[in-house]
Chain A
């Protein structure tokens, strides 16, 4: 027999208001936690893909588009740049390394990228089977592409023009699958990689091939100095454009921020409603319970014990709501994982809580405590003798 046991019995003996409160708390916590988890995973996903890329060089146009197309492979390229000019830039003493990317073709909506093996090393990719491509028209396929198109080592496929499904097919040069990549959670999972020559040869019949072109070049600086001077040099002195992924990603997140903060307010509102529900149901039940509370006092309970009992009831509901809410959000994410990993590579542990979620727990507990405070303070003013004698008459 203790306060917690009595509080739990008090809740379960009148379950309906408690269930209403619990539903609101659970929804609020689940929503807030989902927001934190998805937001965090989105952030991780974006940051993961720019690791090791200090600058992207491509055709002039929108810098955000250049980053989205060259780093995340989700937008159309801004155009092509001359290979010679890119190679000239790569010799700059502030640059440590570069990776050239040539793209524009696809297979079943998945992009084919002509590049060096360095691109795979950038994301620490490893082969799940087969070997790396060595000759033109040999390809290494990302894990998601392989899974959805049932491609295996030794299979052949034809590329199509453009990044979308249903582009004009290049039927004269089949690609040979030489290797399949292990899932890396990076952009590689959704790509088909080959030698740049494959891309050039596919398009060789389209006009003159006087000058070789690539689509973009990923650049890693030797030191921070590059960050300051190189983008300006490229943008002012060449026909190319330089964009810094960190800056563009931040700009993108500022766009998201409005939506995310709106959802945050919604989650807070639901949590707040849960707290209001605690408050209302407790104030309501206080009328019916005043005699019982006086009775408890007549048994020797102090004011503070009765106060504590009311607060404990709110805390029990709150803790239960937090538990259920986190359970719902984590199970939801788990169910969403297949879909989500395709989109941005979310992976969430069922048992580990992120710092954001600890904050949600604290906020929920604080709100519930606040909601219980006024009803609890009211119990301090109960005139035991008056209440008990009013009942007898």
Chain B
């Protein structure tokens, strides 16, 4: 099977909103370690595509494989479980469980992803991302850059094969954006995760060899 070599592969993905016209996405595929940038202006369906890739919404037509599994053929609950195990998310606005502190938010991702709760690993991620000092703090005490770094730690805490990042830097200034992106790439590689970033942020284009334009 050809698709086994790929971490992510799509085929003839189409999404249609109830009222609007159909969105046709180009086919693309990426191998382990080949980070992918998907760029496009706002409104072309970047977030929709990312949610399809992460199994947050159901595929209407076309196919998606993550690792060697055809995710577009799974049931909703199978997708939930599969997502927890294999996929990490980073959103534009980093959001957390407000009642939990920084470290517990990372541990919660491990819990809901049905992974072993690995406190030491979580702490190592926090310290590599420079926010270990905030482990016991509430998440709303963090700055924008720190929140995005926590989001990275959370996404990687389940050792996913694939990290899907939706505009991870667009809410940050130039300095912070580059810092966060570098950390994201570095930590993803260190933990064996393949990165797929969707963005309209042109600052990121120079950093990625593989790019898809919508």
- Chain B residue at minimum C-beta to C-beta distance from A13: B99
Q: How far is the CA of A301 from the CA of B109 in the complex (A)?
A: 9
Does residue A292 face the partner (Cβ distance < 8 Å to B)?
yes
Q: How far is the CA of A384 from the CA of B95 in the complex (A)?
A: 14
Q: Is the CB of B51 within 8 A of A389?
A: yes
Does residue A291 face the partner (Cβ distance < 8 Å to B)?
yes
Which A residues from 1 to 52 make CB contacts under 8 A with B?
A: 1-2, 6, 9-10, 12-14
Q: Is the CB of A10 within 8 A of B89?
A: no
Q: Is the CB of B81 within 8 A of A302?
A: yes
Does residue A299 face the partner (Cβ distance < 8 Å to B)?
yes
Q: Given A6, A305, A385, which contacts B56 in the complex, CB threshold below 8 Å? A: A385
- Chain A residue at minimum C-beta to C-beta distance from B166: A392
Which residues of B are found within 8 Å of A386, using beta-carbon distances? 57
Q: How far is the CA of A391 from the CA of B154 in the complex (A)?
A: 19
Q: How far is the CA of A150 from the CA of B155 in the complex (A)?
A: 78
- Chain B residue at minimum C-beta to C-beta distance from A12: B99
Q: Quick one: given A298-B56, A299-B113, are A9 and B104 in contact (CB under 8 Å)?
A: yes
Q: How far is the CA of A11 from the CA of B91 in the complex (A)?
A: 26
Q: Is the CB of A385 within 8 A of B57?
A: yes
Q: Is the CB of A301 within 8 A of B80?
A: yes
- Chain A residue at minimum C-beta to C-beta distance from B119: A1
Q: Given B77, B84, B93, B154, which contacts A392 in the complex, CB threshold below 8 Å? A: B93
B92 to chain A, nearest CB (A): 5
Q: How far is the CA of A383 from the CA of B89 in the complex (A)?
A: 16
Q: Given B56, B97, B100, which contacts A384 in the complex, CB threshold below 8 Å? A: B56
Q: Given B47, B93, B95, which contacts A292 in the complex, CB threshold below 8 Å? A: B95
Q: Quick one: given A13-B99, A295-B97, A388-B51, are A301 and B112 in contact (CB under 8 Å)?
A: yes
Q: Is the CB of A388 within 8 A of B56?
A: yes
Does residue B204 face the partner (Cβ distance < 8 Å to A)?
no
Q: Quick one: given A1-B104, A292-B95, are A300 and B85 in contact (CB under 8 Å)?
A: yes
Q: Given B56, B84, B98, which contacts A13 in the complex, CB threshold below 8 Å? A: B98
Q: Is the CB of B92 within 8 A of A9?
A: no
Q: Quick one: given A385-B56, A389-B47, A392-B47, are A300 and B113 in contact (CB under 8 Å)?
A: yes
Interface string of B82-124 (1 = CB under 8 A from A): 0111000101110111111000100111111110010000000
Q: How far is the CA of A6 from the CA of B107 in the complex (A)?
A: 11
Q: Given B76, B84, B99, B154, which contacts A6 in the complex, CB threshold below 8 Å? A: B99
Interface string of A273-308 (1 = CB under 8 A from B): 000000000000000000110011111111111000
The bracket for how many chain A residues form the interface is: 20 to 34
Q: Is the CB of B93 within 8 A of A303?
A: no
Q: Is the CB of A385 within 8 A of B51?
A: yes
Q: Quick one: given A6-B97, A6-B108, A305-B112, are A300 and B167 in contact (CB under 8 Å)?
A: no
Which A residues from 342 to 393 make CB contacts under 8 A with B?
A: 383-386, 388-389, 391-392
Q: How far is the CA of A143 from the CA of B117 in the complex (A)?
A: 64
Q: Is the CB of B111 within 8 A of A298?
A: no
Which residues of A are found within 8 Å of B109, using beta-carbon distances? 299-300
Q: Is the CB of A299 within 8 A of B84?
A: yes
Q: Is the CB of B99 within 8 A of A300?
A: no
Q: Is the CB of B93 within 8 A of A299?
A: no
Q: Given A9, A300, A391, which contacts B112 in the complex, CB threshold below 8 Å? A: A300
- Chain B residue at minimum C-beta to C-beta distance from A302: B80
Q: How far is the CA of A383 from the CA of B154 in the complex (A)?
A: 22
Q: Quick one: given A299-B84, A300-B85, A302-B80, are A2 and B97 in contact (CB under 8 Å)?
A: no
Which residues of A are found within 8 Å of B84, using beta-carbon distances? 299-301
Which residues of B are found within 8 Å of A385, using beta-carbon distances? 48, 51, 56-57
Q: Given A10, A13, A300, which contacts B81 in the complex, CB threshold below 8 Å? A: A300
B162 to chain A, nearest CB (A): 13
Which residues of A are found within 8 Å of B112, using beta-carbon distances? 296, 299-301, 305
- Chain B residue at minimum C-beta to C-beta distance from A292: B97
Which residues of B are found within 8 Å of A305, using beta-carbon distances? 112
Which residues of A are found within 8 Å of B95, using beta-carbon distances? 291-292, 295, 391
Q: How far is the CA of A12 from the CA of B138 in the complex (A)?
A: 13
Q: Is the CB of A298 within 8 A of B48?
A: no
Q: How far is the CA of A297 from the CA of B91 in the complex (A)?
A: 14
Most buried by B among A12, A299, A385, A386: A299
Which residues of A are found within 8 Å of B97, using beta-carbon distances? 6, 9, 292, 295-296
Q: How far is the CA of A305 from the CA of B81 in the complex (A)?
A: 11
Most buried by B among A12, A295, A391: A295
Q: How far is the CA of A302 from the CA of B110 in the complex (A)?
A: 14
Q: How far is the CA of A71 from the CA of B162 in the complex (A)?
A: 84
Which residues of B are found within 8 Å of A300, using beta-carbon distances? 80-81, 83-85, 109, 112-114, 158
Which residues of A are found within 8 Å of B91, using beta-carbon distances? 388, 391-392
- Chain A residue at minimum C-beta to C-beta distance from B167: A392
B61 to chain A, nearest CB (A): 17
Q: Given A301, A383, A392, which contacts B92 in the complex, CB threshold below 8 Å? A: A392
Q: Closest 8 A-B residue pairs measured CB to CB?
A: A300-B84, A13-B99, A385-B57, A301-B112, A385-B51, A300-B113, A9-B99, A1-B107
Q: Identify 18 residue pairs between A and B in the complex whose beta-carbon atoms are under 8 Å apart, listed by A's number.
A: A1-B107, A6-B108, A9-B97, A9-B100, A12-B99, A296-B108, A298-B89, A299-B108, A299-B113, A300-B81, A300-B109, A300-B113, A302-B80, A302-B81, A385-B48, A385-B57, A391-B93, A392-B166
Contacts A295-B95, A295-B96, A300-B85 aside, 16 further interface pairs with beta carbons under 8 A come to A1-B108, A6-B108, A9-B99, A291-B95, A297-B80, A298-B56, A299-B84, A299-B112, A299-B154, A300-B109, A301-B80, A303-B80, A385-B48, A386-B57, A391-B93, A392-B166
